Structure formats: structure tokens, C-alpha cells
């Protein structure tokens, strides 16, 4: 157990996250300052529904990598409190260095924990704007990353079209 003095110093980091170049979706999350950078990376992977295991990711400040996370390698000793400067502070988070998905993170506030809350948690998020699959089924639940990279645009799919027309393609769950 952490000593009382250390626990008393815990601060909560309020962070807004979204994909680079897309208005939606966005999430506001609150995480403990003493959460490890590796655990924060894993949390972001769940928030953005990434299911590709073993992929490397990175936190960057102005294009320069601060920490690279490799699920198969050693974890950096740094925490969320080491990652950010005072609010407002902006970082980038890139998931999957092989096929990068760029995200923007903004630290908006640092405050004391609230007794009734558990951390980490998503505390606010956008109202969903559902995407339609080309076949007309609403909502689409997947993006085809393979076709998306070929076409240079997002390719939303329903479950049926994914199975029928995109077998073997790399797909990602759509985050609404
Ligand atoms: Zn496809
Ligand atoms: Zn469809």
C-alpha cells in the first residue's frame, strides 16, 4: 500500500482526447497522476476500442516521442504526472506505430480526487452521430482499415458487409 503522504499528494488529471483531424468522437477522462504511462496507454486503447494486441504506441510532444510503449517490452517508470506539464497542455498519442492512428490529448485541469469517484473514468463524451454503411444499414459498426488506407478515407461497414466483402481485411470498431 502507498504511504499516506504519497496518497495525499495524488492529483486527478482531466484529459480531453479525440482523433486528429476529426471533430468526433471526443472523450473527457479523469485519471490519477500516479497512474503509470503504460497503464494510461492501455486505458486509452480501451477507450478507443482498439483490439489489435501487441501493437506499439507512443506519446509525443510536438512530433518528438516522449515515451514509446511496447506491450512485449519493458514499461517506462514514468507516470501521468511526468507526462504532462501544467494545464492547458497538449500531447499526441499514436496507437499502432505500424499503421498509425493519431490522437490529440489536452490536459484541461488538475484537481484533488473526489471520494465518490473511481479513477480512471470517462466523465463526458460527445453525443453520437451514427455513420451509415454503403449498403444503407445504420449504424455502421466497423471501419475497414485496409480499404480506408487504399482509398484515403474512412470506410464504414455494417457487420454483414464486413463478413461478406471484407474478409481478411483489417478492421477497427467505430467509436461513437
Ligand atoms: Zn475492406
Ligand atoms: Zn453494409
Quick: pLDDT tens for 70-94: 999 999 999 999 999 999 999 999 9
Q: How far is the CA of 95 from the centre of ligand 2 (A)?
A: 27
Could you tell me the pTM of the whole model?
Answer: 0.91
Q: What pLDDT band is residue 7 in, cutting at 50, 70 and 90?
A: low
Residue with cell 516522449: 66
164: exposed, middle or buried (Cβ count in 10 Å: 0-12, 13-18, 19+): exposed
CA distance linking residue 82 with residue 155, whole number of Å? 37
Task: State the fold for domain 4-125.
Answer: 3.10.290
CA distance linking residue 141 with residue 132, whole number of Å? 9
47: exposed, middle or buried (Cβ count in 10 Å: 0-12, 13-18, 19+): middle
* Per-residue pLDDT, 79: 97
Q: How far is the CA of 171 from the centre of ligand 2 (A)?
A: 14
CA distance linking residue 156 with residue 145, whole number of Å? 9
C-alpha cell recorded at residue 173: 470498431
4 has pLDDT over 60: no
Q: What pLDDT band is residue 26 in, cutting at 50, 70 and 90?
A: very high
Q: How far is the CA of 11 from the centre of ligand 2 (A)?
A: 45
Amino acid at each position: 500500500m502507498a504511504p499516506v503522504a504519497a496518497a495525499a499528494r495524488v492529483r486527478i488529471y482531466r484529459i480531453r482526447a479525440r482523433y486528429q483531424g476529426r471533430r468526433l468522437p471526443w472523450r473527457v477522462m479523469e485519471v490519477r497522476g500516479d497512474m503509470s504511462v503504460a497503464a494510461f496507454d492501455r486505458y486509452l486503447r480501451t477507450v478507443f476500442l482498439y483490439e489489435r494486441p501487441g501493437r506499439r504506441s507512443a506519446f509525443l510532444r510536438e512530433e518528438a516521442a516522449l515515451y514509446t510503449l511496447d506491450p512485449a517490452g519493458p514499461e517506462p517508470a514514468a507516470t501521468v504526472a511526468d507526462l504532462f506539464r501544467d494545464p492547458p497542455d497538449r500531447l499526441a498519442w499514436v496507437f499502432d506505430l505500424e499503421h498509425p492512428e493519431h490522437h490529440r490529448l489536452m490536459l484541461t485541469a488538475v484537481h484533488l480526487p473526489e471520494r465518490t469517484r473511481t479513477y480512471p473514468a470517462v466523465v463526458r463524451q460527445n453525443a453520437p452521430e451514427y455513420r451509415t454503411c454503403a449498403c444503407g444499414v445504420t449504424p455502421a459498426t466497423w471501419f475497414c482499415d485496409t480499404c480506408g488506407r487504399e482509398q484515403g478515407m474512412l470506410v464504414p461497414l455494417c457487420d454483414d458487409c464486413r463478413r461478406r466483402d471484407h474478409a481478411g481485411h483489417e478492421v477497427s470498431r467505430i467509436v461513437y
